[in-house]
Amino acid sequence: MLSARERHFVERRRIGHLATADRSAVPHVVPVCFGLWEDRLYITIDRKPKRERGRPLKRLSNIADNPRVAIAFDRYDEDWQRLAWVMLHGSAEILTAGAEHDRAQSLLRSRYPQLDAMQIEELPVIAIHIERVASWGDLGP
């Protein structure tokens, strides 16, 4: 689904911007760390210092209500000929356990060493099945 150039561009980004919407279509956009594997993109939930006890994160409650999501990866440069972005659209699910959950956590730990210090094994992972890709600009290095 992703071209080689789009995949390479996404893999070089450190964050993406995840867009979800609640059942009333109210949008919610947050920066996220991610891992890409074949036609799936994974986002782990880490320990949030500001998280209110007992209340799920907005991105998780939105996905439970409306699994349609988008995630954008961009590069800004003062030389506007180097501007670029890739946007992935798909359907998200929340993984709480199992082989795919564990593989995703391992992938994310390998990509972000900061996660090694966190107890994330039992935390959910957002899995996005990529269904459509859009891109624009200079996707080269």
Q: What is the pLDDT of residue 51?
A: 52
Instruction: List Cβ neighbours of 17 (8 Å cut-off, separation of 6 or more).
Output: 29, 30, 31, 32, 71, 72, 73, 74
Q: How confident is the model at residue 1 (pLDDT cuts 50, 70, 90)?
A: confident
Percent of the chain having pLDDT more than 70? 94
Closest by CA position to 115, among listed 49, 46, 64: 46
Could you read off the pLDDT of 39-87 as tens digits, one per residue?
999 999 876 655 555 677 999 999 999 999 999 999 999 999 999 999 9
Q: Check pLDDT > 70 for residue 127.
A: yes
The pTM is what? Answer: 0.92
CATH of 4-137, one of 1.10.600.10, 3.40.50.2020, 3.40.50.880, 2.30.110.10: 2.30.110.10
